[in-house]
Each structure stands twice: as C-alpha cells, then as structure tokens.
Structure 1
C-alpha cells in the first residue's frame, strides 16, 4: 500500500471520528433544570456527570438586520446607541459623557488550552463568533443629545494587547491588557491615545480566561483587577494557576498590590453595592460536569474571601476530578456565593442601579447583569440581560432574575448577538454592548424621572472597650499546689 493511500485512509478515519464526535456532542444530554431553577440564593444542584469533552450547543451568529432589535421588558424601550462596531466588549463612561468601548478578543493563538480539548474549544469559539483576531482598539462614542452616538473616534496604540477593563482616574486612563495594567495621560474629550503607556503591574498572560477587568473604589484610592483561571479545573497543575482565579487590589497611595479574594474560576464584571459600599462580582463557574452544573454566580467579595476553585463549588460540593491535593482545612473557610445566575449562562457585565438612572421604579434597587450565553449546553441558556433585585439594606432578594433584554436568539437557536457589558450613560440610560452583533444598545423607560440618589448605610462602629480594672494576684496558702509532695 502506497504512503499516499495510507495517508488518505488515516485522514478519512480522522474526519469520520471528528464528525462522530461532533454528532455526539451536539446531541449530548440536555439539561433537566431550567435556568431559573439553577438561579437564586439556593439553586438546585444536579448530580455531577463528568465529561471528557464538553457537550456542544452552538448558537450560529447571524447579526442584526436594519430595524431589528432585542426585546425590552414591558415599560422599557431599546434603541441603537451605536452599531457597525468590531467585537465591542467593555464600556466605560467618562465624566463628560463620552462612552469608551474596547473592541477586543483573545490574544493570537490563545484558544483555552492545548491538546484535543483546546482544539475543540478553538473550533467552538470560532463557530460562536469569538475566533477572530483581536482588533485591539478603543472607540470613543459621543452623544450630542440625540440618544445615539453621532460621533465616533477610533483610538489605536501598539501597547493595546487584548484590552478589556477600563477606568479613568485623575487624568489617566487605565486599561487592563491580557498581560498587564497600563495607563496613559488622558482627559475627557480626548480622542487619541498617543505615546507609550506607563505600566502599573504585570498580570499572568492569556490562558483559558484572558479578559482582565478593572473597577475603581468609590473613593478612587484602590483599583480592583479580576484575573480568571488558565484552565477549567487546574488540569495543567496548580502551579500554572499562580496569580489567577482571583481579584487583586492595588492601593494608589501605598503603591502596593495584594490578593483581595481567591478561588473564583473566572471573575469578570465588578461593581460596588450602593447601599453598603461592598465590592460585588459575577463569576463563571467550571464546565464539563453536565448541562446543569455548575451555576454561575453573583456575590459580594469581602477581603480575604475564598470561593473554593478548583476543589470546591458552592461551599460544600467537592469536585473529585481535581488531581491536585486540597489544602488542609479549605472547606472550613470557603464561602457560599450569594446568588446563582444559572448554569453555563456566562455572566460578564455587572452594574448596580444608582441615582440618576432612567429605568423606572421596577428597576430601582438591584443589579443589571449581561449573561453572554452558553456554548456547551442544551437547551441554550443566557443570551439576555437580567435584573437581580436587592432590598433597601443591600441584600439580594430570593426572586428569580427579571428579564430586561431578550430576543438575542432566534426560534431556531441562531444568535443575532450576545450581550456582553452593561453601564449607565450620563443621561441615565442603560447601555448594553453586544460583541457578536457589533452594537451598543440603549435601554430606558420613557417618561421615567431620574432615580433618587441612594444613601449608603452608615457604618456602625463598635463601642469602645470598657476600661479594665486592676488585677491582683494573691497566693493561696491552702492550695495543694503549695504543699510539699510526698
């Protein structure tokens, strides 16, 4: 048999094997629980069903035709703030009202790992509209009063390398590349990004989760940086996960960085609860335990918090697939997340409702979350923007997430777009980035008055310790301890 014939036979067998795998994956087991059932403070937990390769549920991207739009909740209206963008992800609103959006994607060659799993992941990302090279641009969108971006300016710089999180502070624009946080001198109204940036800190590059987000504390003195894991469950070894799966805090006064919280597989959107001042985040949980595990979540993030990844999920469930030894006593201090958002919904953007927003009374107290949508579940989950309600004390309520924007999926499971980020425009409207559709959507409640400001609950200091009296030590001559022993 000739070498060419052997090669063609081997190639044919490989094609048949790949086709058989894809047929199995696409027809893999369907979820038994609804997304609402795996949501809330106490989501249902299915029995784990470990997979060597994840099941596949791809929503083929088809974009939006002229005049098409997502479906807004009753009482809300959605319009196009900007379109024709190249994979817009994050949003940052400057003090003058300009909106920055990062046109970005994964670093070149990064498809979430090596081997067969990495090969399959790369194929799936490309099918879901996330396989293109990163544009590495920041676009300034300017609304001159019409409710849409009538002006746009594209800012490019060689130092932009899969940019994601953006914040403005004291005349500088801070940008989180996949491999570090950099900053430029920048004033609101500026439309270029010239010169070489100053590096604030290095970050572990790329990996399965390459997107690094930024959040500035309300007093502007601390910067929070989210870094996702480099793998699903540390299958490349725990040493490869150093400085990953965590949120870090940079102190501008002390020029010091520390890990703020850990054990979070892929923390992304971050914002501060206006009632309590606490940092909150949305987190993408692990894959390949079946279509109903593990629920992604929204949670507060206290200093020193530990959420268990890769060994534990939802405080008490051990992931027996992890080969690395679990640290001693880990389960004694793992925290339970505050609120499940559904299995495999991929929450990304997070923004709390604040004073001045024009979303109406129904959406006055709580958090808006963009659920980017599943790629490994049947039926598909996410692909929407939801609202999680909080009470007036800043506590999340035990109600299912309320829909804000839906209609990103067609009836035959094709994707017009995928909601990615949420932020409030200066006029109080909610902005939603749609990376696959290339659109920034604007949502508002017509006729709604700007919401009143939320007053943060005052901290109650502990009472001072009472003064201690004098302690007098006196020998007891009758004590057996003072008698000689025989």
Structure 2
C-alpha cells in the first residue's frame, strides 16, 4: 500500500490539471498604475452557515470537519504523537484615525465571526486513528490572542499578541502542567496588525516572529512603527532579540523550506492603491533585507503617499519571490515535508483569508505553490475552494498545516471549524 504522504502527493498530481491556476505568479507581475480615491472599494460577501455544503477539494480528495464550534481558530500545530493544537483568539483594537477607518471597520466586521476569541489552546486527539478526533481539551487558557505555534524538543512556544511564552510539553498530556514562562515581550502598543507569526529553525536555537505594521502606510507617524513591519530573531535560550529583516508590512505566517532551510513568509501588502495593487506575496526572508514598506512596493516602486521618502531604502528594496492576488490576505503557510510524490515533492500550501477591499472578492481558498530545489517553480493551483458561493461566505481559511501522516489541516475562523483534507481511499 502507498504511504499516506505519497498517496496525498499522488492525489495532488492527478488533480493538478483539474483545478487550474490560483493566480499566484513566479514571474514578475505587471503592476497597474495606482488608483486613488476618497474611499477604497469595500465589499464582503454575506456570511452564511455551511449547512450541508462543504469546501470543494480536488478529485481524489475528501474533506471533513474535525472540530466545530471553536473560538476563532487561527493557527494549528501537529504534535509528534498526532495530536493537534489549535490557537484560538482575537486581538488588535487600534484606535480609529479617520472616517474611512471607521467605515472600513464596519465592513470588515461584517465578514468576521461574532464569536468571542477563546484566548486559549485547544488540543484534539484521534486516539484510534480513524480520522475522527473524538478527544478535545483546553490545553491552556487565559492567553492573550495566541497565534504562532512552534514545538522545539519538549518546549512548546506560543506567540501571543504581546509576548512570546513557552510551556514544557509532555507527550500525551491534554493540559499544560504549569503556567507559561515568558521568553520575551513583543511589540504590542496600538497593534493595528496584532498577529504574531512564529517559526523555529531546524536546531531550535533561534525563533523567528513576524510583527506587522501599526498602520497602512505610516499614517500614524513612524515613531509608532519602531520594531514593526519586521521579522525578529529570538534566542530561544535567553530571549535576546534582534531584527532579522525589515519592510514586511504584515508577515502573517512564517515557515522554513525543508530542503534549503531558508525562512519564508507570506505578507499582506498595503491598501488604497486600487483593486489590483499591491500584490500580496510569498517570499524568502533574507537576513538584513528590506522589503519596501512603507516607502516602496514590489521592488523600488515608490509609494508617493509616504512623505518624506527615503531614497536609499527605496533603492535597497528586495522584490518578493511569488506574487499573490492583491488583497487576498494570505494568513497561512506550510511546506510539504519530504517523501511526497512528483510533481508535489516540494512546495507550500498557502491559506488565503480573502479580500474586503475589492468589488470582486479574491482569496477565500487554499492554494499550493510548487517548488523545485528549494525555489518556486511554477504557477499555484487551487486545493481547497468553495468558501464562497452565490454572494455568500461560509468560511475563511487562516492557518494551514501539513500532517506528516498525509493530511492537510485548515483553520477556518469564520465558521470556527478545523477542516482535514485527505486522499479518498
């Protein structure tokens, strides 16, 4: 019998021609002229219940809800014994600056769940391996909008919106044995972009945290942007921090590509330059590199709204690697481990949460970006779709996680569901 991971890869290979491209580009995209107006286009498809419907997956796959009625699931982590940890929470709360911010807040709220964030970690267990996660416990509570998760040995790291903490993890436990220990404080004043993404390097010496900007394009003043729009490197033992890369407006998910051990991120780019500008992106994160925010985008394309400009930084701006649809809001990133069948032996799943600032919505799906020799190698394909239908929105993907057993785990923070995608047998 084919191993589960290879079976999943084989199903992907069969499905690739059927699902079509997802809009991601590995070549340099053609950028339209900026479009400015009093208000950006704003449209959220009306939220609706799933009912008997389910997200759509490629031929040869199946999808099931393994947990429902969650409290705003964001990111998940598959533990070595197969248990799944889910971070649940809702953060932020930046004050409104202008009338358009107030209007945008109303529009965005219409497309989000009304459920209060759990501020907790939930543990799910499939004890008999039949795909039904019959065990469910609150592993840790009273956290502050937890988001990023990483396990290094027996140390479980959680990136809250204000602090990186750790628990001592014991295999099989259903509840943390003690209160979390602080590793380091994280920038949290204002918290316009509150999510703190997290990844650990291969030997667990360093942790990397993505910290989003405190504004769209610096309109709150650059003083509040200190240590924002960056990726931090944190010494796991001492908690010492340093800036690893800058100019990433909102790096919402981080992951290491397994063959090259290169750090990658998905980034939400700026608003109010039109429906097709600026592309969100998937990119390698190079030490010391500057990715443009707020002065420039997609290389040295100057954002004239930002004054005064910094010509030196504009010219130093690094172009991202893969363009994603503008305003598609990538929030999840997970690379496939080794052992998958061609042509999906290398690649990354990306969760696109979906737009709120376009007349024609984009995103609202999970895509796969193929890699070869540690680099993007072709157009993305759709993997999980159907979150919108006939002007209704049933779900919004956030975190995506690859289970080494051959499953894709998708957090949906609108219907508060955790989905599991596997090859049909």
Give secondary structure in 1 for the equivalent of 2:80: coil
Q: Give yes or no for the alignment of 1:444 onto 2:422.
A: yes
> What is the aligned partner in structure 2 of residue 484 from structure 1?
none
Contact kept in structure 1, 2:333 and 2:351, CA below 8 Å: yes
CA positional deviation for 1:105: 1.1
**Greater RCO, CA 8 A, separation 6+:** 2
- CA distance in structure 1 between the aligned counterparts of 2:177 and 2:102, rounded to whole angstroms: 37
Contact kept in structure 2, 1:40 and 1:341, CA below 8 Å: no
> What is the aligned partner in structure 2 of residue 167 from structure 1?
150
> What is the aligned partner in structure 1 of residue 269 from structure 2?
285
Q: Give yes or no for the alignment of 1:74 onto 2:55.
A: no
Contact kept in structure 2, 1:78 and 1:443, CA below 8 Å: yes
- CA distance in structure 2 between the aligned counterparts of 1:181 and 1:139, rounded to whole angstroms: 18
> What is the aligned partner in structure 1 of residue 138 from structure 2?
154
Q: Residues 321, 422 of structure 1: CA spacing in aligned structure 2 closer, same or farther, 3 A cutoff?
A: same
> What is the aligned partner in structure 1 of residue 397 from structure 2?
419
CA positional deviation for 1:395: 1.6
CA positional deviation for 1:157: 2.9
- CA distance in structure 1 between the aligned counterparts of 2:96 and 2:374, rounded to whole angstroms: 39
Summarize deviations over 1:98-129 as a string: whole Å, max 9, x none. Answer: 1011121124xx15643323322321232012
> What is the aligned partner in structure 1 of residue 259 from structure 2?
275
Summarize deviations over 1:374-395 as a string: whole Å, max 9, x none. Answer: 011121000000011112x112
Give secondary structure in 1 for the equivalent of 2:388: coil
Contact kept in structure 2, 1:112 and 1:122, CA below 8 Å: no
CA RMSD of aligned residues (A): 1.9
Q: How many residues align?
A: 403
- CA distance in structure 2 between the aligned counterparts of 1:198 and 1:300, rounded to whole angstroms: 30
Contact kept in structure 2, 1:63 and 1:436, CA below 8 Å: no
- Structural mapping, 1:308-319, within 5 Å: 308-319=292-303
- CA distance in structure 2 between the aligned counterparts of 1:93 and 1:36, rounded to whole angstroms: 26
Q: Give yes or no for the alignment of 1:87 onto 2:93.
A: no
> What is the aligned partner in structure 1 of residue 118 from structure 2?
135
> What is the aligned partner in structure 2 of residue 407 from structure 1?
386
CA positional deviation for 1:234: 0.5
TM-score (norm 1): 0.79
CA positional deviation for 1:85: 1.6
- CA distance in structure 2 between the aligned counterparts of 1:126 and 1:367, rounded to whole angstroms: 29
CA positional deviation for 1:131: 5.7
> What is the aligned partner in structure 1 of residue 304 from structure 2?
320
Q: Residues 288, 112 of structure 1: CA spacing in aligned structure 2 closer, same or farther, 3 A cutoff?
A: farther
- CA distance in structure 1 between the aligned counterparts of 2:338 and 2:95, rounded to whole angstroms: 40
- Structural mapping, 1:173-252, within 5 Å: 173-193=156-176, 195-205=178-188, 206-252=190-236
CA positional deviation for 1:291: 0.5
> What is the aligned partner in structure 2 of residue 478 from structure 1?
none
> What is the aligned partner in structure 2 of residue 430 from structure 1?
408
- CA distance in structure 1 between the aligned counterparts of 2:327 and 2:313, rounded to whole angstroms: 25
Contact kept in structure 1, 2:337 and 2:404, CA below 8 Å: no
Q: Give yes or no for the alignment of 1:50 onto 2:29.
A: no
Q: Residues 361, 437 of structure 1: CA spacing in aligned structure 2 closer, same or farther, 3 A cutoff?
A: farther
> What is the aligned partner in structure 2 of residue 26 from structure 1?
none
> What is the aligned partner in structure 2 of residue 386 from structure 1?
367
CA positional deviation for 1:340: 0.1
Q: Give yes or no for the alignment of 1:41 onto 2:16.
A: no
CA positional deviation for 1:92: 0.9
- CA distance in structure 2 between the aligned counterparts of 1:126 and 1:111, rounded to whole angstroms: 14
Q: Give yes or no for the alignment of 1:121 onto 2:86.
A: no
Q: Residues 73, 363 of structure 1: CA spacing in aligned structure 2 closer, same or farther, 3 A cutoff?
A: farther
Larger displacement relative to structure 2 (49-58 or 258-267): 49-58
CA positional deviation for 1:301: 0.7
Contact kept in structure 1, 2:71 and 2:116, CA below 8 Å: no
- CA distance in structure 1 between the aligned counterparts of 2:154 and 2:167, rounded to whole angstroms: 9
CA positional deviation for 1:307: 0.3
Question: Which of the two has greater strand per residue?
Answer: 2
Q: Which has the larger radius of gyration?
A: 1
Q: Residues 317, 37 of structure 1: CA spacing in aligned structure 2 closer, same or farther, 3 A cutoff?
A: farther
> What is the aligned partner in structure 2 of residue 63 from structure 1?
49
What 5-or-longer segments of structure 2 have no aligned partner? 1-20
- CA distance in structure 1 between the aligned counterparts of 2:202 and 2:391, rounded to whole angstroms: 40
> What is the aligned partner in structure 1 of residue 323 from structure 2?
340
CA positional deviation for 1:88: 0.9
- CA distance in structure 2 between the aligned counterparts of 1:401 and 1:154, rounded to whole angstroms: 36
